[in-house]
Amino acid sequence: MSLSAGTTALYKDAAQPIEARVEDLLSRMTIQEKADQICQSVVLDTNPNNPQPENVGKIQPTFGSYIYFANIPERNAAQKIAIEQSRLGIPAIFGADVIHGCFLTFPIVLAQSCAWNPELVRLSCSFAASEARRIGVEWVFSPMIDVTFDPRWGRIAEGYGESPYGASVFATAAVKGYQGETLGSLDTVACTLKHFTAYGASEGGRDYAYTDVSPVRLWEMYLPPYEAAVKAGAASIMSSFNDLNGVPVTANHYLLTEVLRDRWGFKGPVVTDWGAIEQLVTQGYATDAREGLKLAMNAGIDIDMTTYTATRYLAQLVEAGDVPVERVDEAVRRILSLKFALGIFEHPYAEVGNTISPERLKGAKQLAEDLAVQSLVLLKNEGDTLPISQPTQRIALIGPVATNKADVLGAWNYASKADETISIEQGLREALPSTVSLKTEQGCGFNDEKCDGFAAAVELAQQSDLVILCLGEKSNMSGENASRSSLRLPGVQEELALAIAETGKPVVLLIASGRPVELQRLEPKMQAILAIWQPGTMTGSAVANVLLGQCNPSGRLSVTWPRSSGQIPIFHNMHLRARGNTSQGEYQDIPTTPQYEFGFGLSYTTFRYSPITLESTTVKPGGELVAEVTVTNTGKVDGSEIAFWFINDPVASITQPIKELKHFEKAAIPAGASRVFRFTIQPERDLAFRNGQGDSVLEPGVIKLMIGGQETSFRVEK
């Protein structure tokens, strides 16, 4: 069915410009062939919840793209049929949820943001792209840059925390890491920004739920990371599931066309999330799938993930005049442009055995370990319990995470192998001197409701000098469709911790989770607490290095850690209450303050901040104002500090948050040394705010500047 051997088509000539190749191919396509390019299926789709291609009279391999699960022969077989059994020989593009690594698994994304090291994020995405591309994944559904401050929502594990500015910086780093200098390289993939937008505001933290967000909140909180990542050159975007303010994003013309295309100039394809077009019916916005396709296409959707609505109904809608053929051509043009940019027409197949070199893999494992080390957040360290001192001879390692290799990988570990994970036990055994005894007891499982293992765990604790208690969540307790109503540790883990604490032995609590967990009952009983999140393949090495003092913890929280679920929402950039931060309006049963605030994290050393110095007390539009602070390491060991610069606009025509992160910098500071941190303030970039129309507003007046417990102010002049 392909073009005859003697035919030379311009679109097959790699020497031609991409735009010319796209237009040539587009001119040859029928409306049904265009519809098939808009459809995305799954390689060997056997999901009974999905409409099967044979039921709609189509041959699956003619579709434009596939979701793919790391089986090269199956992928190449589907590609061979797409090329050889379609009239025009258009290859498919293969996408996958490569979220925090491919084979080598890096820490979950929330953990990565706690390292506050964009360069490590870029490098991790770059290596993930290299591994993914070698098995035939040209397109990843990552990064997830949904801002959220609700830890009940399971997908908080996939994002970069609650700061729009922080998420913008990390989103930019991820885009550069995945896509490199050119998409045609064997070491790069096209990335997908998701989920556009305000998905992180789902009511009650329930996945797929309705979101009600004011226009101001939309522009100040949820859109900035997407705008930054679009400017960084992201190749594609995924629309979010949520019904936003009464118009599901899948059919939201304002977001998908007016903002994304007209305002930001985004050129790449927009793909729906899984089954989202048919879910417009469930959401009460479309009467049936046919109408759902019409609404989605006219709003600006280019690719339909897994519902096959385009191949079923698009030709009918065009013929009826319900979807303009120009809108169809626009969508297909974007899809083909991406394929040509990726070089898929010239290199459609994945090569079996084309793997990463051992030397490069070794370096990547060190990268994964470094990122994990820097993501660990020391929450408590009473009496310098950590690092573990030399006199400690007997250590009890207790809890469901102690020897676990699978769940420390976290949700969305694409092609990882649990048996290659370094567990906490393994990491400690390799790092501890031979004179130290390390014994383990599980105590309980993640979800156990019985205390059968407590006695053995308590007995081991009593026989030890120090207890390392490893508690947390299974990997599937966070991620998609993994919301929780309570932040308490699952099962009887909290009861196990309290029983161990009763022994009177010093306890180091390690929390392995995909979200903040409730610690208000445990915190007073523990001598040290370390949030390790779900650190990935190199878990044990990273944890051991920090516990033993080979590495000084430098992680800082990228999301506020509540005392209880009842405090939600609670986040650093909230607005003031009508009676300010007084006792009025606070909870009667617990403090209103969080357990641990945004940016919190301890070190094995201490840092002192000097007063802030400003080169001027005023700044004008178009000008700059340089602020500096000197940070001194006042302890006895080297450490790294993260300088967080916050601003507050006390009086504005639209009330502003208590504080907003505007700049951060991480730097190593040797013991006894000092480092100057500098923030060059640009009023239009750093001091303006957005109104409900998304316009930038810069008003004259006083601005407060805060860092490390220091505060000063300056004035913006007209």
- Give me the active site residues, please: 273
**Residues 59 and 323: beta-carbon distance below 8 Å:** no
Report the C-alpha gap between 691 and 702 in whole angstroms.
19
Q: What is the 3-state secondary structure (H, E, C) of 438-492?
A: EEEECCCCCCCCCCCCHHHHHHHHHCCCEEEEEEECCHHHCCCCCCCCCCCCCCC
Contact assessment for residue 540 and residue 424, using Cβ atoms and an 8 Å cutoff: yes
Compute the chain's Rg from CA coordinates. 27
**Local structure of 630: helix, strand or coil:** strand
Nearest to 174 by CA among 252, 230, 218: 230
User: What residues have CB less than 8 Å from 450, skipping those under 6 apart?
Assistant: 444, 492
Which H helix or E strand runs over 368? Answer: helix 358-375
Cβ-contact 684, 588 below 8 angstroms: no
* Strand arrangement, sheet containing 270-271: 192-196, 236-239, 270-271
Alpha-carbon distance of 677 to 643, in angstroms, equals 7
Three-class SS state of 73:
helix
* Exposed/middle/buried for residue 461 (C-beta within 10 Å: 0-12, 13-18, 19+): buried
- Cis status of the peptide bond prior to 143, with omega within 30 of 0: yes
CB 31 within 8 A of CB 314: yes
DSSP state of 39: E
Report which of 203, 183, 527 is spatially closest to residue 383, judged by C-alpha positions.
527
Give 511: exposed, middle or buried? Use CB within 10 Å, 0-12, 13-18, 19+: buried
Looking from the CA of 263 toward its CB, the CA atoms found within 13 Å total 16
**How many Å apart are CA 143 and CA 150, to the nearest integer?**
19
- CB within 8 Å of 641: residues ≥ 6 apart: 554, 603, 607, 631, 633, 666, 667, 669, 675
DSSP notation for 104-173: SBPPPHHHHHHHT-HHHHHHHHHHHHHHHHHTT--EE---B------TTSGGGGGS--S-HHHHHHHHHH
Classify the C-alpha dihedral 311-313-314-319 as positive or negative.
Answer: positive
Among 54, 58, 99, 92, residue whose Cα is nearest residue 75: 92
Lateral strand order in the sheet of 639-648: 618-619, 710-716, 701-707, 639-648, 660-669
Say how far apart CA 357 and CA 79 lie, in whole Å.
26
